[in-house]
Amino acid sequence: MSERDRIVIVGGGIAGQAVAEALRERDPDVAITLVCGEDALPYDRIRLSEILVDGSDAATLALRPEEWFADHDVEVLLGRWVEGGDLDAGTLVLDGAEELTFDKLVLATGSQPLLPPIPGIGLPGVHPFRDPADCEAIRQSATTATHAAVIGGGLLGLEAARGIAAQGCDVTVIHLVDRLMERQLDPVSAAMLEPSLADLNIKVRLESATQAITGGDRARGLQFKDGSSMDADLVVVSIGIRPEKTLANTLGLATNRGIVVADSMRTSHPRVWSVGECAEHAGMVYGLVAPILEQARVAADTLLDRSAAYTGSILSAKLKVAGIDLVTVGEADGETSAVVSDAAARTYRKLSVRDGRAVGAILLGDVRGAEALMAAVRAAEEVTDPLDALAAASAAGPADLPDEAQICNCNGVCKGDLVAAVEVDGCTTPREVMSRTRAGTGCGSCKPAVIDIVAMAAGGLNEEPAYLCACRKQTRDELADQIRSQGLQSVSEVSQCCGTGRDCGACKPALAYLVSEVNDNRHREERHARYINDRVHANIQKDGTFSVVPKMRGGVTTPSELRRIADVAEKYEIPLVKVTGGQRIDLLGVTKEDLPKVWRDLDMPSGFAYAKAVRTVKTCVGEQHCRFGLGDSMGFGVEIEKAWEGLHTPAKVKAGVSGCPRNCAEATIKDIGIVAVEGGWQVRIGGAAGASVREADILDTVETKAEAMRLSTTFLQYYRENADYKERTYDFVPRIGLDEIKRIVTDETIGAALRERFRLAKAATVDPWLERDDPYHPRQFTDLDQQPEDDGPPTPVVVGPPEEARR
């Protein structure tokens, strides 16, 4: 053998990468070569499910950046295929010719998706779900398909269905047997899963054997054994994996379902190991990451002549579908079991026991204590009373978990590893701990647990800064300081001084807000830093047209306003007129060039429905009309809207004023809500009923309208100056804490200063719809081949080549 042992790993999947990493951790010298059949660095296959939902770039999946391989002296061959070789001589043939020599060889060739040999399986529109190309193809088809079918109701099939449903496409999961995920779930929990899937627009069809995929030129439907059929112009097949053993067979290794390995992870040839979805150990082929990582650690030991043995893995699974919490471990049934279930709440918790020891758990809808139960099953802990054990697990906090409790199943990281990262390696934030241990970097579902444990180990959580500009890692406060100290007036100046807003553009709107807020609205406005909504003061629609919502303070209008709205809708042939949930009227489908004309004819101010700004102040009729009314909610609401309108805010702000605690204006779920009560007004903050639902906290109850106005305005300004961009009050209030907010807004000096800055900012607001007569640029609303409006400013607009123009 050469002075430096060369280990060649064939296959750059999660398995191949894990072997390379485990080897390098153990031995700084051994030469490592990783041959990747795919033309990309090893990537995190399991996050494809996430990418299918949100469409983010597959390039973000890389397990390690390119530099890692140089830093760790791992040679990588990308897009190279190993076709055969001579094991005794220690040589491999790559792409027909080149020879690569090795002392030891690891086959981590993974698997291929299993495709049933049925007619139509090769038609366009039929896809497996295995790699980024599949993912992209499915996403593409899902945007145009009318109905999709996913064949296979296992973990992966359900995740595929979720991804398709998220594109707004109808989808049905076809499953052969009588319950979903039969390997992980018992019949009751499997049945309970169905309504949650239905909520996500995923239909389920059980006990259906697909006989053929029909359609001549492309998939158009499925034909089932029982004679029935369904339409489907997108078909995803997810019925299992076929271990990739072509190379192993060519090399003459013993194979069965997969490449047969012993406890040492060695194959039938003494120089060859195998790890991952291609390997078969004790009759089992594992299709999950956690066992693969265990195998990789054993293989790394035995490759370096240390003794180690792999004895099989207990499987655990988490469903990566937002909105459904499901964790399973071990067996679905035991000799005895304890079940705590609430059908209405769709929760199901089960612990199965055999011979007095924990053998499996299912947690659906309520996954508290998942780590503790998984640890109990893995350690086959003795359980005398399973019901007690279930209850104890749900009460367990991070401190109660044993060090061996596995927190991140994807990367096999235990609580002890996380604690050591803090106590031994000196990590201080969850982010550092995650990058050191890789916990939370797989499917991400364990992140909350990781954060809890880091907080416990570090004695409190070191807040990770929320960067305003992720590309430059600068926080809102740092940038605000720069703007203040250097007197910066515009986004371009900030870009020049701080570099922000140059690389990705994503932070430009946040900077635009910050510049205006710090300068009390007396900044230099640059429209290129604003979203299109704020360049044309209307909300862009999916077809590129815009919606127009005129101001209708407190939901109060007049016959003449309504008449104008009606006339405008007819004159400009506006496709839809709709009463909004914010008590005003929306004109939808207006073209960009019509916007100034529509505003002119409406002759009403902007309702700011497109902006991060004060939106609406919803009111009820109140004491003047209602028999229960305790205060003039309508009048007060209109007054508040006048006081706050036109102000931009870190995220949209919605307010409401109700005339009594019956609360018809829903003030308790508003960013700022005011409720008339016996003897005064209750002021509430931080409520929401959108993506998050949160009851607003009571800031104070005061006697007069003037006090209520003062208090809520002080809070509004405090929020304007301190919230992160896009941080709604429902996140801001709990982050700062109600007591702290109370202290600040009731402090005479601080409060007075906040109100003074509010006054300055408000004084500089204008109705943006006045740009109808005074556009910031002649082509604010028009494309290059449209003539800008005649009644714009007299700026000369030249069309045509310069020669003609000069004449």
Partner 1 sequence: MTFACREDDVPPGEGRNITLEGKRVALFRTDTGWYAVDAVCPHKGGPLADGIVCDHAVTCPLHDRSFDLRTGQGPGEDRVSAYPVELRDGAVYVAVGSPAAAPVAA
Ligand X SMILES: Cc1cc2nc3c(=O)[nH]c(=O)nc-3n(C[C@H](O)[C@H](O)[C@H](O)COP(=O)(O)OP(=O)(O)OC[C@H]3O[C@@H](n4cnc5c(N)ncnc54)[C@H](O)[C@@H]3O)c2cc1C
Listed in sequence order, the residues at least 6 apart from 737 whose beta carbon sits closer than 8 Å to its beta carbon are none
> Per CB under 8 A, which region of 210-218, 532-540, 620-628, 693-701 contacts partner 1?
532-540
What's the min distance (Å) between Cβ of 58 and partner 1? 5
Question: Which residues, 159 to 178, sit near ligand SRM by CB under 6 A?
Answer: none
Q: Which residue number, 369 or 659, has a Cβ lying nearer to ligand SF4?
A: 659
Q: Is 330 in the site for ligand X (CB under 6 A)?
A: no
Q: Which residue number, 336 or 795, has a Cβ lying nearer to partner 1?
A: 795
Q: Which residue number, 114 or 471, has a Cβ lying nearer to partner 1?
A: 471
Among partner 1, ligand SF4, ligand SRM, none, the one that 689 touches (CB under a kind-dependent 5 to 8 A) is ligand SRM
Burial class (CB in 10 A: 0-12, 13-18, 19+), 579: exposed
Find the binder of ligand X among 21, 32, 33, 37 (CB under 6 A).
37
Question: Which residues, 235 to 254, sit near ligand X by CB under 6 A?
Answer: 244, 247
Site string for ligand X, 390-419 (x = CB under 6 A): --------------------x---------
Listed in sequence order, the residues at least 6 apart from 620 whose beta carbon sits closer than 8 Å to its beta carbon are 626, 633, 634, 657, 658, 659, 663, 664, 665
Among ligand X, ligand SF4, ligand SRM, none, the one that 108 touches (CB under a kind-dependent 5 to 8 A) is ligand X
What's the min distance (Å) between Cβ of 777 and partner 1? 4
What's the min distance (Å) between Cβ of 642 and ligand SF4? 20
- Measured distance CA(271)–CA(103) in Å, rounded: 7
Among partner 1, ligand X, ligand SF4, none, the one that 143 touches (CB under a kind-dependent 5 to 8 A) is partner 1
Q: How big is the CA angle at 315 (ends 310 and 316), to the nearest 5 degrees?
A: 135
Structure tokens at 247: 């190379």
- Measured distance CA(658)–CA(665) in Å, rounded: 5
Nearest to 652 by CA among 581, 574, 707, 555: 581
Among ligand X, partner 1, ligand SF4, none, the one that 15 touches (CB under a kind-dependent 5 to 8 A) is ligand X
Beta bridge partners of 576: 588
Beta bridge partners of 203: 172
Find the binder of partner 1 among 354, 368, 502, 762 (CB under 8 A).
502
Among partner 1, ligand SF4, ligand X, none, the one that 503 touches (CB under a kind-dependent 5 to 8 A) is partner 1
Cβ neighbours, 10 Å, residue 763: 10
Among partner 1, ligand SF4, ligand X, none, the one that 621 touches (CB under a kind-dependent 5 to 8 A) is ligand SF4
What's the min distance (Å) between Cβ of 508 and partner 1? 6
Q: Is 489 in the site for ligand SRM (CB under 6 A)?
A: no
Distance of CA 610 to the CA centre of its chain: 23
Q: Is 55 in the site for partner 1 (CB under 8 A)?
A: yes
Question: Which residues, 739 to 778, sit near partner 1 by CB under 8 A?
Answer: 776-777
What's the min distance (Å) between Cβ of 618 and ligand SF4? 11
Q: Which amino acid is at 311?
A: T
Which residues sit at the interface with ligand SF4, rule CB under 6 A? 620-622, 626, 628-629, 633, 658-660, 662-664
Listed in sequence order, the residues at least 6 apart from 82 whose beta carbon sits closer than 8 Å to its beta carbon are 10, 35, 37, 92, 93, 94, 100, 247
> Per CB under 6 A, which region of 43-51, 209-217, 430-438, 515-523 contacts ligand X?
43-51
> Per CB under 6 A, which region of 24-32, 284-292, 533-541, 583-591 contacts ligand X?
284-292
What's the min distance (Å) between Cβ of 646 and partner 1? 23
Nearest to 413 by CA among 402, 422, 404: 404
Q: Is 544 in the site for partner 1 (CB under 8 A)?
A: yes
- Measured distance CA(429)–CA(413) in Å, rounded: 17
Find the binder of partner 1 among 501, 607, 650, 680 (CB under 8 A).
501
Q: Which amino acid is at 134?
A: D
Q: Is 689 in the site for ligand SRM (CB under 6 A)?
A: yes
- Beta strands 6-10; 104-107: pairing state: parallel
Burial class (CB in 10 A: 0-12, 13-18, 19+), 508: buried
**Residue spans of alpha helices (H) in 81-169:** 132-144, 155-166
Q: Which residue number, 541 or 704, has a Cβ lying nearer to ligand SRM?
A: 541
Structure tokens at 197: 């899937």
Structure tokens at 604: 């009403």
Decide if 453 contacts 415 (C-beta within 8 A): yes
- Measured distance CA(776)–CA(768) in Å, rounded: 11
Number of residues that bind partner 1 (CB under 8 A): 44
- Measured distance CA(234)–CA(127) in Å, rounded: 8
Q: Which residue number, 297 or 728, has a Cβ lying nearer to ligand SRM?
A: 728
Distance of CA 582 to the CA centre of its chain: 28
Q: Which residue number, 109 or 500, has a Cβ lying nearer to ligand X?
A: 109
Q: Is 580 in the site for ligand SRM (CB under 6 A)?
A: yes
- Angular region, 432: left φ>0, alpha ψ -120 to 50, beta rest: alpha
What's the min distance (Å) between Cβ of 162 and ligand X? 11
Q: Is 654 in the site for ligand SRM (CB under 6 A)?
A: yes
- Measured distance CA(169)–CA(640) in Å, rounded: 43
- Measured distance CA(573)–CA(310) in Å, rounded: 72
- Residue carrying structure tokens 């900030």: 494
- Judged by DSSP in three states, 536 sits in helix
> Per CB under 8 A, which region of 500-508, 642-650, 679-687, 724-732 contacts partner 1?
500-508
Structure tokens at 718: 């405090």
> Per CB under 6 A, which region of 8-16, 328-336, 370-378, 690-698 contacts ligand SRM?
690-698
Q: Which residue number, 312 or 778, has a Cβ lying nearer to partner 1?
A: 778
Among ligand SF4, partner 1, ligand SRM, none, the one that 616 touches (CB under a kind-dependent 5 to 8 A) is ligand SRM
Q: Is 581 in the site for ligand SRM (CB under 6 A)?
A: yes
Cβ neighbours, 10 Å, residue 177: 12
- Angular region, 168: left φ>0, alpha ψ -120 to 50, beta rest: left
Q: Which residue number, 13 or 680, has a Cβ lying nearer to ligand X?
A: 13
- Measured distance CA(310)–CA(301) in Å, rounded: 11
- Measured distance CA(507)–CA(748) in Å, rounded: 35
> Per CB under 6 A, which region of 30-38, 481-489, 595-603, 689-697 contacts ligand X?
30-38
CA atoms within 13 A on the CB side of 175: 22
Q: Which residue number, 465 or 589, has a Cβ lying nearer to ligand SRM?
A: 589
> Per CB under 6 A, which region of 45-53, 204-212, 594-602, 682-690 contacts ligand SRM?
682-690
Nearest to 311 by CA among 267, 273, 281: 281
Using CB under 6 A as the criterion, which residues of the chain lie in contact with ligand SRM when the complex forms?
539, 541, 547, 549, 578, 580-582, 584, 586, 588, 609, 615-616, 618, 654, 688-692, 728
Using CB under 8 A as the criterion, which residues of the chain lie in contact with partner 1 when the complex forms?
55-59, 132-133, 136, 143, 501-506, 508-509, 526-532, 535, 540, 542-544, 776-777, 779-780, 782-785, 797-802, 805
Using CB under 6 A as the criterion, which residues of the chain lie in contact with ligand X when the complex forms?
10-16, 35, 37-38, 45-46, 48-49, 81-82, 108-111, 129-130, 156, 244, 247, 276-277, 287-290, 292, 320, 410, 443
